[in-house]
Amino acid sequence: MRGLLFSLIIILFLPFILLGIIVYSWRVRRVIIPHNISGTAAEPYGARLAMHVAGTRIDNAAYRITEHTILFAQPVRFLTLQTMRLALKITNYKGFFFAYPGPRPSNAATMMSHRTHFIDRSMSQAFSRTEDPIEQLVILGAGWDTRCYDLPKDLDLYCFEVDMAPTLKVKKQAIEKAGLPHSHVTFVETDFNQESWMDSLLESGFDQKKITYILWEGVTMYLTDEAVNSTLALFSTLPQGSVIGVDFFTKDLVKGNPPHETLSKGMHRAIKYYSEKIRFGIPTGETLSEGTEELAERHGLRLSKFENIGDKDNKKKIPWYVFTEMIKT
């Protein structure tokens, strides 16, 4: 009943939402893409904002900077997020799209919730351990991630946000305008396909001898095979106990192999809209985790966590997206 009522209210608000989408799309094509700012980074950010307004996963930092971002600044914030928040408040609806951690097995509609929960849990467990405590946090391809601004109060952790210069500059401006404390964060500009992010980090004060958590979320699919392996090779130079949380599309999805033909075309088309391209996919092997296990072992790492989108027991829903945690042994 709540879902039906929510749908009816959304239909009532549809003119506002559609106008917001039009403004959002205009900004993507006329501002984001011409200035080489990541458009795909807005997708997981938008999903986390949706969970925030629904009250299922609170992310005050993410919501505070919306009015200072290019894509979600007014009137988009009012036309989309605030109208959605009103509909959710009236109906108290917490349906699958807004759910956190969300239903399992997950699918394309709930993949952002699943991915967010996997990473949140991985980071929380790593930060709370007493043996080999994490001393540094690095977010590769930081985009609009706001985890550096919502750390546990008793956690003394220095953070590095690494991304392409255009994206990082507008992110930093939004953080400053929103008044978020960020003295513990260093913004590091790099190009993952052309430069060594480790060199950029070291030049910015990163200590290669400290145990580090690296968050590498929503990036690998846009990189070359060489860039992915180079990044893991660099991670393997960090001290024992360092952790990397990283997600991969499967090779079958990227190549459009059965049964993913339709989904693959849709994904490639959606990414192309942002003038980006899907390049890398992980082979799954005979077991879903075999490809990631081999990739981890190739670089002296251990696969410590593994989850996937899809259902391995349903031939029509064969997994196509995997979330992993690897540890330096």
Distance CA 54, CA 52 (A): 5
Express each pLDDT in 92-150 by its tens digit: 998 888 999 999 999 999 999 999 999 999 999 999 999 999 999 999 999 999 999 99
Does any domain span residue 126?
yes
Residues 31 and 131 placed together within one structural domain of the fold: no
pLDDT at 229 over 80: yes
- Evaluate whether 288 touches 322 at the Cβ level (below 8 Å): yes
Distance CA 18, CA 7 (A): 15
What average pLDDT does the segment 76-82 reach? Answer: 97
Residues 198 and 280 placed together within one structural domain of the fold: yes
Distance CA 114, CA 99 (A): 9
Predicted local confidence at residue 220, as pLDDT: 96
What average pLDDT does the segment 238-251 reach? Answer: 97
Q: Which domain holds residue 34?
A: 2-91
Q: How many domains does the chain have?
A: 2
Query: 287: which DSSP letter?
Result: S
Model confidence at 193, pLDDT cuts 50, 70, 90, reads low
Does any domain span residue 23?
yes
Residues 72 and 149 placed together within one structural domain of the fold: no
Predicted local confidence at residue 169, as pLDDT: 97
